[in-house]
Amino acid sequence: MHSNRAAEAPSKPPLVTFDHFQILRAIGKGSFGKVCIVQKRDTEKMYAMKYMNKQQCIERDEVRNVFRELEILQEIEHVFLVNLWYSFQDEEDMFMVVDLLLGGDLRYHLQQNVHFNEDAVKLYLCEMTLALDYLQSQHIIHRDIKPDNILLDEQGHAHLTDFNIATIIKDGERATALAGTKPYMAPEIFQSFVSGGTGYAFEVDWWSLGVTVFEVLRGWRPYEIHASNSVESLMQLFSTVSVQYNTAWPKDLVHLMRKLLTVNPEHRFSSLSHMQTAPYLSDINWDAVYEKKIDAGFVPNKGRLHCDPTFELEEMILESRPLHKKKKRLAKNRSREASKDSQSENDYLQECLEVVQSEFMIFNRENNLLATSVDPWYKRDNQLGALGTLERDAISLSSSPLLYRIVERHSFFSRSQKPPC
């Protein structure tokens, strides 16, 4: 009955590479990766491109984290995550192309002295609850929930990003690594490290969500914790210091926060079903939250980019391997390599680079979309979810006046051969 399906199917999209994108401007950076806005040349859709230098990742022993993040992102999709569209590589870098969220992260807005009202934060709490519930269904612990990793779209809805230290645990398993950002890490993570106990599971993300919600509402965190604090001092802190809640907060909000910031993970709210029992959220229509039908209490200014402007300046002036000069640089390197002896100056590094090159996971979500549209019997991984949602969320040039100005500005400077200011 399906014998003609293969003949009728159109060819798969070509392999996506760096050359398929126009680089517009830098908008962020992490410990070993940078992020820029890009436009796919054939569709004119806008994305964020994260790129990580291979040599730096090898030197910092970060390759395994990059590969783990890719492994996870290729298998998940959700309306409140920053979803992966493509992954590819060249000689220098590994690339991930993801949803473009133009509203900035919550950390940026806190640093801009934005005072989020209770309704805005309540919606973030609900949206992140759905995101964490989904991740839990996929056996994923994020391990780095914090304002820096919650991005807003142009309508003000929250999306979780950065799976660099996330991990997957199967039924009955426990994680044991000391991973996360100290001020947001749950007590049982430190306890597991100190005593080698039973480890930890999904509850740690709900603690981090509680810390994040507290900080966004109040402007500071419930515990004064810094990166320099020892694990032993933190264990003592959790056992002796009580969280001070704002007396102006509704009692139901305080009750919910206490449930999220419960030191004992067995008594902590740590699932969607738990959250739905909270009186503070009794008025929430969860279907409407999922469908983004609830207006956000804070809508970012659509006329500006919500990121540090120095990122672009650093990329253009200070970066030793700027992205906009990659094509010429790689061509020169290839010519130089062709004239070299086969013996590398650094055999170990070269060997590591070859391993990264061979093991890197290439991904193209368009292939999955094509397969499901052509073949209704195509067996999708249940993690992929409603792929049509992603198609709606991809940003086109016409949908954003700000992006239109960025593209026009880039084209002008390309013509005049002057760097962006």
Tokens 């029992």 correspond to 277
SS3 276: helix
Determine whether the annotation assigns residue 50 to a binding site.
yes
Out of 133, 144, 153, 162, the active site residue is: 144
DSSP state of 74: T
Handedness of CA 130, 73, 145, 49 (dihedral sign): negative
Q: How far is CA 295 from CA 3, 126, 161, 252, in A?
A: 48, 13, 21, 22
308 flagged as catalytic? no
Under 8 Å between Cβ of 372 and 380: yes
**Of residues 271, 361, 353, 291, the one with CA closest to residue 73:** 361
Whether the Cβ atoms of residue 360 and residue 69 lie closer than 8 Å to each other: no
Give the integer Cα–Cα distance in Å for 3 and 225. Answer: 63
Give the CA distances from residue 116 to residues 154, 214, 216, 300, in Å, rounded to whole numbers and listed in that order. Answer: 16, 11, 7, 11
Q: How far is CA 293 from CA 101, 116, 160, 276, 370, in A?
A: 18, 20, 19, 18, 28
Residue 152's SS3 state is: strand
Phi, psi of 372 (to 5 degrees): -75, -30
Distances in Å between the alpha carbon of 393 and those of 16, 82, 87, 99, 384?
Answer: 20, 10, 18, 8, 15
76 CB-side CA count, 13 A: 30
Nearest to 180 by CA among 151, 214, 152, 203: 203
Helix (H) or strand (E) holding 48: strand 45-53
**CB-based burial of residue 383 (10 Å sphere; 0-12 exposed, 13-18 middle, 19+ buried)?**
middle
Binding residues: 50
Binding residues for ATP: 50
Return the active site residues: 144
